Amino acid sequence: MSRIRLVILFLSLACPLLKGFSQSAILSDSSKVSILTIGTANESHTLYGHTAIRIFDAQRGLDNIYNFGYFDFDTPYFLAKFVKGDLQYFVATDAYPGFEYNYRQENRSIYEQVLNLTTIQKQKLLDELNKTLYSDERFYTYKFIDKNCTTMVIDKVNDVLGSKVITTKKPVTITYREILNPYLENSFFQKLGINIIFGPKTDKKAEVLFLPLELMNVLKTTTYEGKPLISETKTIFEAKPEKAFSFWNNIYFFSALILLVVVLKNNKVYAFYFAILGLLGVFLSLVGFYSLHEEVRWNYNVLLFNPTLLVLLYFYKKKNRKWISNLSLFNLACIAIYLVIIINKAQLLLFMALLITSTIGLARFARKNRKIKPVNG
């Protein structure tokens, strides 16, 4: 959830002086430990914000950030590893001034929540962070929901507190998908793509606290031993609003474009439309088998983005009316099942234009190519 800063990373990991000093630092009673929450941005890895830990001790000259959101774009086969789900993320440390400067330059809000910890707890957290930083524990396999920069911070703080103090508020009434979608209100096509590739896991109740801004909101009301866990909340930087409206990047443009296929009533246009859906279905199927990410496995969206549409187009090219009709009816049945599955889910409106267009197109294909029985007489 945070872009890699290779120069800072190299200095923080390679400099033995920094390592030796950090590991031997004894925090003063006036030290502060904070959770920093970074606002969202438009790049794929910044859509949901970022979480980090700040250790500040003016008496010891310490002001460092511990950051679990690093990954290396230069990793061999980076994209394949990311899709598969075995890409290694890692923790690194930054000097706070540079950290703040970078996010100000990116116009991303910075919020700080100071934890109400004892000096012993602060020291234990610092020691644990440094132990992780300078051992093989600094690497972890990223999981979108279950293991990311936010969940790792929560785990570290909870370990110090001795129990799962920081957790979702019960009862949980909202799904992961319902949490994710509002973050993408100004990025329709990213929202559409994420809802296409994410399957049943994101429709489950959001038992895991996994997003930075959600963590920030939970911390506001979290208590520990009868006292608020947060002693102070500060807005370090408030991002300037950016122009949100886009003529084309919205559901209205997309729906009009898709429904235009119905209006044109052109078989070649429909063939092109079904080819796109079929190819997406092949992609979803392959990713579902290949990836270790639970969010993309067993994806029921293949019922709408159906790979058999490509087979339908093959028989359409061969002018085999029997199989055009049969496969059209099969895909209509799949759409009916799909509609039952998503009728009460957050993505229904997103896919409505696709559902309407596919249903009408397949019905036309089935009707025009149905077998005509001979008339006796």
Length of the chain: 377
Q: What is the pLDDT of residue 77?
A: 64
Residue 372: its pLDDT value, please? Answer: 54
User: Distance between CA 153 and CA 147 in Å, rounded?
Assistant: 10
d(CA 300, CA 336): 12
C-alpha to C-alpha distance for 119 and 113, rounded to whole angstroms:
17
Residue-level pLDDT at 20: 43
pTM comes to: 0.87
**Alpha carbon distance 174, 103 (integer Å):** 30
How many distinct helices (H) and strands (E) make up the chain? 14, 9
- The full set of domain ranges for the chain reads 6-166+208-237, 251-368
pLDDT in tens, 83-115: 677 788 889 999 999 999 999 999 999 999 999
d(CA 55, CA 32): 6
**Residue type for position 71:** F
Distance (Å, whole) CA 335 – CA 183: 28
Which whole-number Å values give the CA distances from 189 to 143, 181, 248, in the listed order? 23, 12, 10
Write down the pLDDT at residue 85: 75
Give the contacts of 129 (CB within 8 A, at least 6 positions apart).
Answer: 53, 55, 66, 91, 156
Low-confidence ranges of the chain (pLDDT < 70): 1-24, 77-80, 82-83, 244, 371-377
What is the reported pLDDT for 25? 83
